[in-house]
Amino acid sequence: MHVIARPTIISYIQQYPETKQQLLAWLTEAEHARWTCPQDITNRYRSADFPTDHHVIFDIKGTKYRLVVRIRYADLSSQGTIFIRWFGPHKEYDLLNVENL
């Protein structure tokens, strides 16, 4: 998968240094993945949520943080793209409307 806004992940790590290991691990896995449908993600990340057809919420560092992405799934002509939309503590995530990101 092609991850858009990789520098955004780095800025989140600077803002929340305790998440560095988990965010970098997620980034590495995502860049090497080829997700063609939500089930491909669920097979690896059982706690992933899918609030819309193209949004995915990943738990980071247990349930302390949430990573919200918009995804264009891979197909025969595309490797797929992940757009980083938001990252932060769970309590701030509860205030978000993911569909408006």
Tens of pLDDT along the chain (101 residues) come to 999 988 999 999 999 999 999 999 999 999 999 999 999 999 999 999 999 889 999 999 998 999 999 999 999 999 999 999 999 998 888 778 777 66
The bridge status of strand 81-89 relative to strand 2-4 is parallel
Other beta carbons within 10 angstroms of residue 22's beta carbon come to 19
> For 74, how many CA atoms within 13 A lie in the half-sphere containing its CB?
14
Would you state the pLDDT for residue 5?
83
What pLDDT was estimated at residue 23?
Answer: 96
Count H helices, E strands: the chain? 4, 5
pTM for the predicted model, two decimal places = 0.91
| Secondary structure of residue 80 in the 3-state scheme | coil
Cα–Cα distance, 50 to 13 (Å, whole number): 24
